Amino acid sequence: MTNEEGQVYQSYRYSVTGEITFGAPQYENEYTYNGESYNPNIESQYLRARYYCVVTATFLTEDSYLGNQTEPLTLNRYNYCVSSYLNYTDPSGKWIYEKEQNEFGVKYIQTPANEKQNRKIDFYIAKTFLSALHELNSPQASVDYVLSFDYKHDMPYAKSIMLKAYKQNSSYACEIFHVSIEQLEEFGWKAITGDKQNYIIKFNRTLNQYGITSKASITMLMATMAHESNFGQDNIEGMQNGKELLTKDNWKSYIKDVAGNSNLEFDDRGVGYIQLTGKQTQENFLKAIGRDCDMVNFGMDKVHYIAKYYSLEAAAWFWATTNVVKTGMGSLNDYVNVNGNSEAIFLITQYYVNGFTATDKDLATIRLGGEYKIKNDQLIVGNNSNPLPKNWRDRSEKYDKAYEIFGK
């Protein structure tokens, strides 16, 4: 505390819960508690979120939390937790903490394969179930509980918990926005439906759920979805401008033209903003989100069910959970976060999305900053020539546009 001349006449410190940890306050002062700590080396206060300059009385960096449109006080990116740490929480936190997440991974691996098979224990469903139990402050929220749960016989209960947690979370004031409705509109996204605020909240919630939060990953995901689905309008294989043109009658001639000797069936055609293709991939996705048994209730086949309800989530799931073995660096989301936001890295991701027509060695050269050329629809690395990803020119144009809007 200082006097009118600015001289310090008393010093004390509080913990984040308001307990005195240093000094003995002798005067009434409503501003004493703010959960801060002073770093003398840089002469700044650290308020758990970012550094605060005591000279200019401003934060040195913005909060990553963009705020909620329905809560004006949260829109100030330099005002952590609406200046009320006890009443507001930092929405950038996650329910499953790092220590628990590590424990979950280890114990899941240690669980015998026959137990996983008998009780239908799926990694992503069990993890979501654990997060939902935390959301509801359930005393059952533990790694041991979700890994001993009988999903085969009691899946309806697990689904009810996950649904209840989702609905409760929907009413929270704090949302983390990485993409705005204005950005989607500027990008030309054609899938915006219903109330715009609800749409953008759900859109960002999906990004957060799958950890797609960096500018690089969002840029490349948006570019990929824009190409694969015509900016969200064509979310089923063979669609044009929102209309389905493929039927069981013309499917064989179509698949022969685009994929040669492929055995892909009509009922397993691509679906989603990044098209999930094939029975196994689609079933893995529905199983991962706990919706593999719901289609009958909606009276839909799996392609139309995913297209109507989970086009974005299917793309996010693909981007953030698949290709782990191929990339050698985790999912495409992980790969991009490690290697950065450049057209060269985007080019490599499109090989993972579209199918490999280039050698691992050449792609590694590009990833490490080596020279390459694109000429006559070929990727040239040194003396090697590789076919480009299908429709590379359009993919590249989508990336350039996405970078201007989401990448800077």
Tell me: the pLDDT tens digits for 208-248?
A: 889 898 999 999 999 999 999 999 999 999 999 999 999 99
Type of residue at 30? E
Rounded-to-integer distance, Cα 176 and Cα 67, Å: 7
User: So where are the chain's domains?
Assistant: 13-83, 98-171, 179-407
pLDDT the model gives residue 57: 56
pLDDT the model gives residue 94: 37
pLDDT the model gives residue 37: 52
| Residue 140: strand, helix, or coil | coil
**Gyration radius of the chain's alpha carbons:** 25
* Full strand arrangement of the beta sheet holding 373-375: 373-375, 378-381, 384-387
Rounded-to-integer distance, Cα 289 and Cα 29, Å: 51
Concatenate the DSSP letters of all residues of 181-215 into one string.
Answer: HHHHHHHT-----S-HHHHHHHHHHHHHHTT--SH
Is residue 403 packed enough to be buried (19+ CB in 10 Å), middle (13-18) or exposed (0-12)? buried
Contacts with 295 (C-beta within 8 Å, 6 or more apart), sequence order: 286, 301, 302, 305
Dig out the tokens for 346 from the structure: 């985007």
Q: Give the number of other Cβ atoms within 10 Å of residue 272's Cβ.
A: 27
Concatenate the DSSP letters of all residues of 67-120 into one string.
Answer: -BTTBGGGG-TTSGGGG-TTT---TT--SS-HHHHHHHHHHHHHS-HHHHHHHT
pLDDT the model gives residue 12: 64
pLDDT the model gives residue 407: 92
pLDDT the model gives residue 32: 42
pLDDT the model gives residue 233: 98
Q: How many CA atoms lie within 13 A of 285 on its CB side?
A: 31
- Comparing CA positions, the residue from 378, 377, 379, 376 lying closest to residue 363 is 379
pLDDT the model gives residue 187: 98
**Which portions of the chain are predicted below pLDDT 50?**
16-17, 28-35, 46-49, 85-87, 89-96, 171-174
Rounded-to-integer distance, Cα 337 and Cα 332, Å: 8
Contacts with 98 (C-beta within 8 Å, 6 or more apart), sequence order: none
pLDDT the model gives residue 80: 55
Q: Would you state the torsion angle of the CA atoms of residues 313, 315, 316, 321, taken in this order, to the nearest 10 degrees? A: 120
- Comparing CA positions, the residue from 39, 34, 41 lying closest to residue 13 is 34
Rounded-to-integer distance, Cα 57 and Cα 72, Å: 21
Rounded-to-integer distance, Cα 186 and Cα 87, Å: 36
pLDDT the model gives residue 248: 95
- pLDDT 10s digits, 179-205: 999 999 999 999 999 888 879 888 988
**One CATH from 1.10.530.10, 3.20.20.70, 3.30.1330.20, 3.30.300.30 for 179-407:** 1.10.530.10
pLDDT the model gives residue 53: 59
Rounded-to-integer distance, Cα 33 and Cα 119, Å: 50
